[in-house]
Amino acid sequence: MNRFFGWLRGNAERHLLIAAQKDMASRYLQREGPVIRQRFFWRRVFVPLYRLLPWRLRHRIMSAMPGSHRQWYRGSGPPRRS
């Protein structure tokens, strides 16, 4: 199970970061994005779908993954909102 969550987080983090870097490079530097090969699913399906979700839901999904954060926080909502 941990291997699955490792795979999920590793891919999600990498492809979301690449998408953000592409946006930022275009906006600030007028350059193209990173030259890193991306699988169709992550680039064309996962990233757009993730971006459609509200932050509250995204954060709930991230929080549901096993990890040290669950030793500190239990059942918390989105961060820093009072």
Partner 1 sequence: MATRIVVIGGGAAGIGAAGAARATDPDAEVRVFTEFEDVGYSPCGIPYVHGREIDSFERLFLADKETYEQAGIDIAYETRVSDIDLGSRTVTVEGTGPVPFDRLVIATGFNYEPLDVPGSELGGLYHVKNIRQAMEWDRIIEEARSAVVVEATPLGMEMVTALAHRGLEVHLVDPNPWLLADAADPDIMQPVEESLIEMGVKLHLRTKLQEFVGDRTVQAVRTSDGEIPADIAVVCTHKRPSNKLAADAGLKIGSTGGVIVNAHMATSVEGVFAAGDCVELPHEVTQVPVVSLTGSHAYAQGKVAGTSAAGGDRRYNPVYVPWGMVAGKWMIGGASTGETLATALGMPFMMGVAEGISRARYYPGVMKVKVKLLFDPASRHLIGAQMVGGEGIKERADFLGMAIKKRVTVDDLASMENVYSPPIGALNEPIALAAQNCLARLEG
Which stretches of the chain bind partner 1, using CB under 8 A? 2, 5-6, 8-10, 13, 16-17, 19-25, 28-29, 31-36, 50-51, 53, 55, 58-59, 62-63, 65-69, 71-73, 76, 79-82
The Cα 54–Cα 33 span in angstroms is 25
Is residue 18 within 8 A of residue 36, CB to CB? The reply is: yes
Nearer of residues 28 and 40 to partner 1, judged by Cβ: 28
The Cα 22–Cα 12 span in angstroms is 15
Rounded to the nearest whole angstrom, what is the least distance from the CB of residue 48 to partner 1 in the complex?
11
Nearer of residues 2 and 40 to partner 1, judged by Cβ: 2
**For residue 58, what is the DSSP state?**
H
Nearer of residues 41 and 76 to partner 1, judged by Cβ: 76
